[in-house]
Amino acid sequence: MTVELPDILIREARRDDLQALVALFAADALGGHGDTTDAGAFSDYARAFAVIEASPEQTLYVAERGGEVVGTFQTMLTTSLTGRGSSAMIIEAVQTRADMRGQGIGALMIEFAIAEAKGRGARLLQLTSNAVRKDAHRFYERLGFKPSHLGFKMVLK
């Protein structure tokens, strides 16, 4: 699925987007994920991209302006027995290039994800956001998301 909005194109990520995507994540000082543009780590990203690309339930998207990647997000559709066997779409790794923030790109990406979730019959659309990202929390709330759960993580490696 591809949507073109004024000068922004939202489309599925391609392998040739990988370096731009890695640079986006590596530039994120708040994320704390240990992302790096070090060439020695590129094979890790390529391996993860292959897993996402092969999954029918996961899609990695980019927002493109003038041929450049200016944002990204990933969706995952999960089905559980709760909610009478309904599906939920999870949005992950939402990122807009720092010099492009405040221009509506993030909102377009989320609107795209909402349409994708509805189109795939999801009952729920959910995401998590790092607790330190107060601006992001306000952004998601403006778009209609409600804080409803407390999340927990366990780092395994």
Q: Map tokens 């991209």 to a residue.
A: 49
User: Which segment, 11-15, 100-104, 148-152, is predicted with the most confidence on average?
Assistant: 11-15
Give the span between the Cα atoms of 116 and 110, in whole angstroms.
Answer: 10
Domains and CATH numbers, the chain: 3-142 (3.40.630.30)
Q: Are 125 and 112 in contact (CB under 8 A)?
A: no
Looking at the predicted structure, is the pLDDT value of residue 4 above 80?
Answer: no
Pairing of strands 124-127, 87-96: parallel
Q: How many CA atoms lie within 13 A of 101 on its CB side?
A: 11
- What was the pLDDT predicted at 31? 65
Whole-structure pTM over 0.85, yes or no?
A: yes
Picking from 98, 102, 74, 76, the residue whose alpha carbon sits closest to that of residue 87 is 76
Q: For the segment 34-72, what is each residue's pLDDT rounded down to a tens digit? A: 788 888 889 999 999 999 999 999 999 999 999 999 999
Joined tokens for residue 38: 């070090």
Q: For the segment 84-109, what is each residue's pLDDT rounded down to a tens digit? A: 999 999 999 999 998 998 888 999 99
